[in-house]
Amino acid sequence: MRWTGIALLFFLLPAKAEVAVTDDYGNPVRLPAPAARIVSLAPHLTELLYAAGAGARLVGAVDYSDFPPPARALPRVGSDAQINLEAVLALRPDLVVAWPNAGTLRAVNRLAELLPTFRSEPRELEDVATTLERLGVLAGTAPAARRAARAFRGRKAELERRHAGRAAVRVFYQVWERPLLTVNGDHIISKVMRLCGGENVFAAAPAIAPEVDREAVLRARPELIIASAGTAALPNIPFQVVPAELIQRHTPRLLDGAEQVCRAIEQARAAR
């Protein structure tokens, strides 16, 4: 009887089941159990992990992982341009989440040989929601992640409903002032503009973040300039600053930036 009871108790204990997702590069990411120690190698991924309910599982992050405020206290393992491999490994993570770029690709690939690594390459607004859901699976916080994803999708749908069918406004997005940088139609910022009824005047540029000159901006005839900092390239055009962290990161706060972009576009439309 005693052994039967122990066997029944053992049977009823929750099993640590394997979890698995596919990352943005089509790579399967499998863990024997939800991750308990996660290192984030991109600020947007740090923010997404907190939004997915997995903040308590983060043990390290890169520079500029500054939201929510508790993220600022995480041990640093480099930047999203240069990763300190030794610092990452010293934290003994069971999952690494990364955004590979020119500066970090080699380090991320090396880590993927040693540890389960989720690689993020978001391109669409919907990628915020799907990344939340996948991170929730990997961290064992799926219910919280699904709630966050559902809230994001609902808010995005409402913005689309409010701004659908309105006359387009020509917008120049100024990433940087010197040199003068903008974005093409593949960039998430351009997709925020489109959500709000804006038309990116450099959408057809071949590079995702092309350098342009003042004359090219003049020829493009923008009705509105939006920037993350600095002053307007063309002082006689309406100018709106939207903080970079609200429009350049694939996180739920992207819709906070979208609200500001939409208001600026509405004002430019009304001023015609």
Q: How many Cα atoms within 13 Å fall on the side-chain side of residue 34?
A: 17
Tell me, yes or no, whether 32 and 145 share the same domain: yes
CA end-to-end span of the chain, whole Å?
85
Domain enclosing residue 120, as ranges? 13-152
pLDDT band at 148 (very low <50, low <70, confident <90, very high): very high
Distance CA 177, CA 173 (A): 11
Query: Whole-structure pTM over 0.75, yes or no?
Result: yes
Q: Please give the share of the chain, as a percent, with pLDDT higher than 70.
A: 94
Is 21 within a domain? yes
- Same domain, residue pair 25 and 99: yes
For the chain, how many structural domains are there in total?
2
213 and 180 in contact (C-beta within 8 Å)?
Answer: yes
178, 81: one domain = no
Average pLDDT for the chain: 93
Residues 185, 123 contacting (CB under 8 angstroms): no
Is the model's pLDDT at 15 over the cut of 70? no
pLDDT in tens, 162-179: 998 899 999 999 998 889
Query: Given pLDDT bands bounded at 50, 70 and 90, which one contains residue 4?
Result: very low
In a shared domain, residues 102 and 205: no
pLDDT at 75 over 50: yes
Q: Are residues 147 and 171 in the same domain?
A: no
pLDDT score of 37 more than 80: yes
The secondary structure of the chain in percent helix, strand, coil, rounded to multiples of 5, reads: 45, 15, 40
Both 174 and 128 in one domain: the answer is no
Tens digit of each residue's pLDDT (9 = 90 or more) over 84-143: 999 999 999 999 999 998 889 999 999 999 999 999 999 999 999 999 999 999 999 999
